[in-house]
Amino acid sequence: MTRLKRFLKNSVKSVILLKISFSLILTVCGCTSSTAPAFSKENIAEAIRDISEKEYALEVTVKLVGSTLWVYLPVEDLFAPADKPEKYIERFNIETDKNKEEFAGETLRLQYLIKEIPEQEKSQQVKYNQEALDKISKVWRVLRRAVFSSRRGKWHEPQFYCILAADVKNGIEMREIFYVEDLKKVSYEFISWTEYQHRAISDMRLAPELIGDRGGVNVAYRDITMRDFLLSQIRHRVKLRFQKPEAKKGVDIDKEVLKIVAFTIKTYDFRDFSELELDNLATNNKTVLNRAALWAKSSEERF
């Protein structure tokens, strides 16, 4: 358990989460031959629960809150020791507890503390338990059927899905949130797998309150808004940019963060704000752009 605690605090968590997302999506996505919608918002939660139980013998709790569908999957021993630790390079340190993203009225505000550090090699000591992976994969199969067999349109189908895999033995939570249109786009190859990995928000944390909780009674289910999703995606993209790492040594950190924000906002054609404020806590450098300037920035540079 001590090793897992160290692992969860380590930057490699973004790497392992990406791998699980990519491998599971590959097994379940694709076009569907169904022509008539089988599910609506009124029956989708019950249908997912029934299919999971009857066809895959899965114990899941499914809740629809507003336009967000939650699937809670209890597992045991989510992780196992890695047979061959995988090495990776660390170039940046992100003080995640200092980072903050919020909408304050019409202003999108981000503060971040990211520092370049001497390059060092580290290793990933744990891997996903195959039994837990198989259960998560089956949940993905059920969700794919639900997504591609639902009535289309914002008012007829959930807009956001959250898979929450809970290690009820060790108290670890892994969740992935995706926007329904992103799953459809990657399935029909309108976006790449890599881009989908950046859009689907993966995270994990120690969750002692979930020990023994097979019904998800200790989860704070809520409706996820587009604002919530964009803030989380920006944070997710920043982590991947500097923890995977994608960014090279010597990059302009402020410029990279600005590119991430501009790209994300433009991707979803989000206009419900008037200005952007960036606050680099490491350098005390502040950047303020109005929406038009940010929109122009997104067209100027390739992400």
pLDDT in tens, 115-136: 999 999 888 888 899 999 999 9
**148 and 212 share one domain:** yes
Using CA atoms, how far residue 94 sits from 189, 212, 266, 291, in Å, is 33, 32, 25, 27
Which residue, among 142, 130, 29, 17, has the nearest Cα to 75 in the 3D structure? 130
**288 and 152 share one domain:** no
Last residue of a domain, one of 190, 220, 250: 220
Could you say which DSSP state residue 214 is in? S
**143 and 50 share one domain:** yes
Task: Look at residue 83 and tell me if it is in a domain.
Answer: no
Task: Look at residue 179 and tell me if it is in a domain.
Answer: yes
The token pair at 27 is: 């097994």
**154 and 58 share one domain:** yes
pLDDT for res 31: 46
CA distance 54 to 257: 46
Task: Look at residue 84 and tell me if it is in a domain.
Answer: no
Phi, psi of 94 (to 5 degrees): -110, 120
CA distance 263 to 57: 41
Last residue of a domain, one of 173, 192, 220: 220
Task: Look at residue 104 and tell me if it is in a domain.
Answer: yes
Task: Look at residue 213 and tell me if it is in a domain.
Answer: yes
Residue 78 in contact with residue 165, Cβ under 8 Å? yes
5 pLDDT exceeds 70?
A: no
**62 and 210 share one domain:** yes
What's the pLDDT band for 302 if we cut at 50, 70, 90?
A: low
**What's the pLDDT tens digit per position in 25-56?**
444 444 444 455 678 888 999 999 999 999 99
**243 and 303 share one domain:** yes
Task: Look at residue 85 and tell me if it is in a domain.
Answer: no
CA distance 258 to 256: 5
pLDDT for res 303: 52
pLDDT for res 245: 76
Bridge-based pairing of strands 61-65 and 68-75 is antiparallel
Bridge-based pairing of strands 201-206 and 172-179 is antiparallel
**95 and 16 share one domain:** no
Could you say which DSSP state residue 210 is in? G
Domain that holds residue 138: 1-78+129-220
CA distance 243 to 88: 10
163 pLDDT exceeds 80?
A: yes
The token pair at 157 is: 């189908």
Task: Look at residue 206 and tell me if it is in a domain.
Answer: yes
Locate tokens 């202003």: which residue? Answer: 107
**253 and 297 share one domain:** yes
Q: Where are the beta strands (DSSP E) in 129-200?
A: 160-167, 172-179
**190 and 243 share one domain:** no
**What's the pLDDT tens digit per position in 270-280?**
999 999 999 99
CA distance 164 to 88: 27
**Which amino acid does the sequence have at 109?**
R
**164 and 279 share one domain:** no
Dihedral sign (CA 251, 274, 269, 41): positive
Q: Is residue 197 helix, strand or coil?
A: helix
End-to-end CA distance of the chain: 38
Phi, psi of 86 (to 5 degrees): -90, 130
**What's the pLDDT tens digit per position in 175-199?**
999 999 999 999 999 999 999 999 9
**74 and 151 share one domain:** yes
Q: Is residue 171 helix, strand or coil?
A: coil
**Which amino acid does the sequence have at 203?**
D
Last residue of a domain, one of 220, 241, 264: 220
Using CA atoms, how far residue 194 sits from 21, 23, 25, 265, 276, in Å, is 10, 12, 11, 18, 26
Residue 34 in contact with residue 121, Cβ under 8 Å? no
- Please give the tally of structural domains in the chain: 2
The separation between CA 135 and the C-alpha centre of its own chain, rounded to angstroms, equals: 19
Dihedral sign (CA 53, 199, 42, 153): negative
CA distance 17 to 14: 5
Task: Look at residue 184 and tell me if it is in a domain.
Answer: yes
pLDDT for res 72: 98
**302 and 174 share one domain:** no
